Amino acid sequence: MVIKEKLQKAINKQINAELYSSYLYLSMAAYFESMNFKGFAHWLQLQANEENQHAMKFYAYVIERGGKVVLTEIAAPKAEWKSPLAAFEEVYAHEMKVTSLINDLMKLAKDDNDFATESLLKWYVDEQVEEEANALSIVEKLKLIKDSNNGLFMLDHELGGRK
């Protein structure tokens, strides 16, 4: 069954949101690179790649359901943050926003009785739980670390090990 116009439009919008997430995290990676925090930068670069995969999963789905992907302009992300903590607080806030976008899509799919889209979105609902938890755990560590250079270097090392 071909995907309905309204849902197709909403998923296209979500593709843009996922690509924006990717762009935002890549910009944060560049910010950490500029401060020589290679581990934070590595973590964020992998996160940017993941966001790109989230977009591509929706991309493939729209096509599979006989719809058309329409790409729109991606907003420019910020380039500077006032501290590592400020950057990761933004990651966490951004992920909560994305969760609410996914929840809105789920409501739309349910209203349409589009069970296939519901099934796809279930994957994103679960993924968001993980995304929020990962961001929050880094925020909490950064809060404990405060201004300790030692702590920052240790966390940088830890995040550099992300596979």
Task: Give contact residues for ligand OFO (rule: CB under 6 A).
Answer: 18, 21, 51, 54, 95, 98, 131
> Which residue, 4 or 81, has its beta carbon nearer to ligand OFO?
81
Phi, psi (deg, nearest 5) at residue 18: -70, -40
- Strand runs (DSSP E) across 78-132, as ranges? none
**Cα 88 off chain centre by:** 12
- In the complex, minimum distance from the CB of residue 46 to ligand OFO, in angstroms, rounded to a whole number: 12
Residue nearest to ligand OFO (CB): 21
> Which residue, among 61, 96, 86, 77, has the nearest Cα to 21 in the 3D structure?
77
Q: Which residue has the tokens 């899509």?
A: 105
- In the complex, minimum distance from the CB of residue 52 to ligand OFO, in angstroms, rounded to a whole number: 9
> Which residue, 91 or 152, has its beta carbon nearer to ligand OFO?
91
> Which residue, 88 or 152, has its beta carbon nearer to ligand OFO?
88
Region of residue 66 (phi > 0: left; psi between -120 and 50: alpha; otherwise: beta): left
Distance between CA 142 and CA 127 in Å, rounded?
A: 23
- In the complex, minimum distance from the CB of residue 126 to ligand OFO, in angstroms, rounded to a whole number: 11
- In the complex, minimum distance from the CB of residue 120 to ligand OFO, in angstroms, rounded to a whole number: 13
Distance between CA 20 and CA 54 in Å, rounded?
A: 11
- In the complex, minimum distance from the CB of residue 19 to ligand OFO, in angstroms, rounded to a whole number: 10
Distance between CA 90 and CA 93 in Å, rounded?
A: 5
> Which residue, 69 or 154, has its beta carbon nearer to ligand OFO?
69
> Which residue, 7 or 55, has its beta carbon nearer to ligand OFO?
55
